Amino acid sequence: MKFYSTNKQSKSADFKTALLRGLADDGGLYMPNKIFNFQFLFFNDLKSKYITVRVIQRFTSLPKTNLEKIINEAFNFPVPLVRLNKNLYILELFNGPTLSFKDFGARFMARVMNYYLKKSRQHLNIIVATSGDTGSAVAAGFYGLSNIKVYVLYPSKRISELQEKQIATFGKNIVALEVKGDFDDCQRLAKQALNDESLRAKMHLSSANSINIGRLLPQMFYYFSGYRQFRTRYAKSPKLNPIFVVPSGNFGNLTAGFFAQKSGLSIKKFIAAVNTNSGVPEYLKTGRLSKRKTKMTYSNAMDVGIPSNWARILDLYGIPMRNINVNDEKLEKLNQDLEAITVSESETIKTIREIYKKYGYILDPHTAVGVAAALKSKSKEPKIVLATAHPAKFKEIVEKAIGAKIALPKTLAKIAKKPKKSILIGKDYSELKKILIGR
């Protein structure tokens, strides 16, 4: 399988190249040439991991036994589907080591990269910009690998103390860079480094953001798993297809959902739930994505002004990356398949409080944006909300909303006690470059 760039200016690449490069030469994102339809697999009573191996194998051409091993090791924690009522389900994606759904992508990608690098005895430097959870998932996923060094860029004072500890307490091959700016600054710096020819001549560079195709593909797994649990336990009739509600920031999670749907999974449609950083709902209404400043919210991992994976979703629908007419047919089709709903800060808190009161279930702020969007939507089909983070990661906000204490899971309690080791840098690219070259 070949991967082309959304900017259509560079040559297509095989999976290994796309994985190790991250961004294409022309600054675009890699997209698969073809998404094979595996619909027949979903009608059989097959394990979701088995299906995932079959599907990902078509994209990557990795040997089946290696892929099986990687997937079994990477996804070694449960993904329960919790029923709140007949029409509202929560798919818990936060049971991995860093308690967010990003563990799926990061753990898979680390193992696949390691597989290729070991084979060719190469060394790799990874640069990753994070609004919180990516950094910790990537740091944990890659920690201790001898042939990969990871630089994590995160916005100073804009992520929770615990999130910061989860990035900046590793040491060894993990370098934590605290940027005096917001997430968009971090992302710009990372992109600049990845596009810097003179830097690339000196070191082998790659990204681990959700722009990396190696992180998106494994995320199809939990759509398969959530669907299967829904189908076998709650909705035996194959006519009743669920809506997946995806709390979104950079829209990688949703892109993986579209990949899963195109691979043959019967998803009715998607709801993208966003906080007040609401570029995408505006785009769906107007056909234009205006430049906007990132706003800080309770669901900080979704504080993204300009979502990078939006280019992929437009590409899937054949929509060019410029302003288009509101009445464009392709935009209409996208509007049928995707509803985007904005959730305010007060709605987020109110949802955490009310779901706790009504069901005794505790939501984190990101999942709460998803549940609030599910409740606001007029679509009638059952909704599966992706629970993207464990509530304990956002202890202060959640405890205030529900008026009760919640316990820190053991892994978090341990990290909370460790001292942070990070390097503070400004927004200027030269500062980052100095650090990258100096090491």
Ligand X SMILES: *Cc1c(COP(=O)(O)O)cnc(C)c1O
The distance of closest approach from Cβ of residue 285 to ligand X in the complex, given in angstroms and rounded to an integer, is: 20
Active-site pick, 16, 102, 393, 395: 102
Our finding on whether 210 is near ligand X (CB under 6 A) is yes
Continuous segment of H or E residues that includes residue 387:
strand 383-387
Our finding on whether 70 is near ligand X (CB under 6 A) is no
Measured from each CB, the residue nearest to ligand X is 133
Q: Give the residue with the Cβ less far from ligand X, 225 or 250.
A: 250
Mutual orientation of helices 183-194 and 429-438 as an angle, nearest 10°? 50
Give the residue carrying structure tokens 């309770």: 298
Return the residue of 92, 133, 182, 347 that touches ligand X, per CB under 6 A: 133
Using left for φ > 0, alpha for ψ between -120 and 50, and beta otherwise, residue 271 falls in beta
Spell 114-141 as b/e; 16+ CB within 10 A means b.
bbbbeeeeeebbbbbbbbbbbbbbbbbb
Q: Give the residue with the Cβ less far from ligand X, 42 or 244.
A: 244
Binding mask 169-188 for ligand X (x = CB under 6 A): --------------------
- Cα-to-chain-centroid distance, residue 410: 24
Return the residue of 16, 21, 102, 158 that touches ligand X, per CB under 6 A: 102
Cβ distance 29 to 309 under 8 Å?
yes
- Cα-to-chain-centroid distance, residue 116: 23
Q: Select the span of 17-25, 119-127, 244-252, 414-422 touching ligand X (CB under 6 A).
A: 244-252
Our finding on whether 253 is near ligand X (CB under 6 A) is yes
Site for ligand X in 299-328 (CB under 6 A): 301-302
Active site residue 102: yes
The distance of closest approach from Cβ of residue 154 to ligand X in the complex, given in angstroms and rounded to an integer, is: 12
- Output the six-digit token pair for 36: 């094979």
Our finding on whether 252 is near ligand X (CB under 6 A) is yes
Cβ-based neighbour number of residue 348 at 10 Å: 27
- Output the six-digit token pair for 250: 């950079």
Q: Give the residue with the Cβ less far from ligand X, 218 or 249.
A: 249
Site for ligand X in 348-367 (CB under 6 A): 366
The distance of closest approach from Cβ of residue 343 to ligand X in the complex, given in angstroms and rounded to an integer, is: 12
The distance of closest approach from Cβ of residue 80 to ligand X in the complex, given in angstroms and rounded to an integer, is: 17
The upper half-sphere exposure of residue 273, i.e. CA atoms within 13 Å in the direction of its Cβ, equals 31
What are the two backbone dihedrals, phi and then psi, of residue 314, each rounded to the nearest 5 degrees?
-60, -40
Which amino acid type is present at position 326?
A: V
> Which positions are annotated as active-site residues?
102
- List of residues contacting ligand X (CB under 6 A): 100, 102, 132-134, 210, 247-253, 301-302, 366, 388-389
